[in-house]
Chains A and B, each alone.
Chain A
Amino acid sequence: MDGKTNPPRTFRQKWAAPLLWIALPALSVGYQVAAKHVALALTGVPVGVDWVLKALRLPWGQAMVGLELMNFAVWMVVLAEIKLSSAFSISALSYVMVILASWTVFHEPVGMLEIFGSAAIVGGVLLIGGESKSETPSK
């Protein structure tokens, strides 16, 4: 993230980090918001094949499938460039974003455990990310 590393050589190398840090958390928030709408719409329907078919008929259910596919595509691009151990831990940022979204969009209460957990994730991710300059495989 500064001038110490070699400049990114390919499109994928250039975009792997922004995809991991910004696109994946954003897609996860979108997915959870869609899931919340699906859950609210299907309250009382027993979980099973019928539940899945009903969910897939809802626009929010289709959004869930689309967002999950996009998430997978983005994840595979990230994995081509970044170590799994770093990328997977950094992907936990999505938990922090989902908590922020549930607090701001759905006005759900946020407890001390969520605040402590979010702080630990942000701190941990910064420790990993701040040191991840040379993790592109040097093949």
Chain B
Amino acid sequence: MSSHVLTAEALRLIAFCIFAEVSRELLFKVAADSAQDSDNYALAVALKPAVWLGIVLWAVEVVAWVVLLQKVPLSIAFPLVNLNYAGVPIASALFLKERLRPKQMLGAALVAVGVFCIGLAGI
């Protein structure tokens, strides 16, 4: 494979995978929170449309990921989609109004750096 593999299409696929993963996690969290006080938590979660939307996104993401890997080596695609470890905490703060202490923000940033490095190593 050549070294200039990040075509516009590949970048769009990577962006979509990150978007799908971050959205899915937000949807799962919203479903979990809204089912939290139910007597039967599992049943309540299963009846939340947000969960099913998340599962559909999951399936679409798997297909997008496989298509992506047919165009781009894993060693490039993996660190980039791992940017969701930065995206999820940021999206949680923006959309779910979650507040981390400064120490926890530093922790989340360290995790994102660590996961990116492991992606670079081409696990």
A interface list, Cβ under 8 A from B: 12, 47, 73, 75-77, 79-80, 83-86, 88-90, 92, 95, 98-99, 102, 111, 113-114, 116-132, 137, 139
* Least distance between B81 CB and chain A CB atoms (Å): 13
Given contacts A86-B100, A88-B89, contact A117 B28 (CB under 8 A): no
Inter-chain contacts of B25 with A (CB < 8 A) = 84, 88
Given contacts A47-B70, A92-B85, A117-B114, contact A84 B98 (CB under 8 A): yes
Residue of A nearest to B37 (CB): A139
Q: Decide: B28 and A121 in contact? CB cutoff 8 A.
A: no
Given contacts A80-B41, A85-B108, A99-B123, contact A92 B92 (CB under 8 A): no
* Least distance between B115 CB and chain A CB atoms (Å): 5
Inter-chain contacts of B60 with A (CB < 8 A) = none
* Least distance between A94 CB and chain B CB atoms (Å): 10
**Contact partner of B121 among A73, A86, A113, A130, CB < 8 A?**
A113
CA distance A12 to B37 in the complex (A): 11
Q: Decide: B33 and A118 in contact? CB cutoff 8 A.
A: no
- Listed by A's residue number, 15 A-B pairs whose Cβ atoms lie within 8 Å are A47-B70, A73-B42, A76-B51, A80-B32, A84-B96, A85-B93, A88-B92, A95-B123, A117-B114, A120-B113, A121-B115, A124-B109, A124-B114, A126-B107, A131-B107
Q: Decide: A118 and B45 in contact? CB cutoff 8 A.
A: no
Given contacts A80-B41, A88-B88, contact A114 B123 (CB under 8 A): yes
CA distance A119 to B123 in the complex (A): 16
**Contact partner of B107 among A76, A117, A125, CB < 8 A?**
A125
Inter-chain contacts of A117 with B (CB < 8 A) = 113-118, 120-121
**Contact partner of A124 among B28, B110, B118, B120, CB < 8 A?**
B110
Q: Decide: B28 and A79 in contact? CB cutoff 8 A.
A: yes
Given contacts A76-B32, A80-B41, A111-B121, contact A85 B110 (CB under 8 A): no
B4 contacts partner chain A, Cβ-Cβ < 8 Å? no
Q: Decide: B108 and A128 in contact? CB cutoff 8 A.
A: yes
Residue of B nearest to A116 (CB): B117
Inter-chain contacts of B26 with A (CB < 8 A) = 84
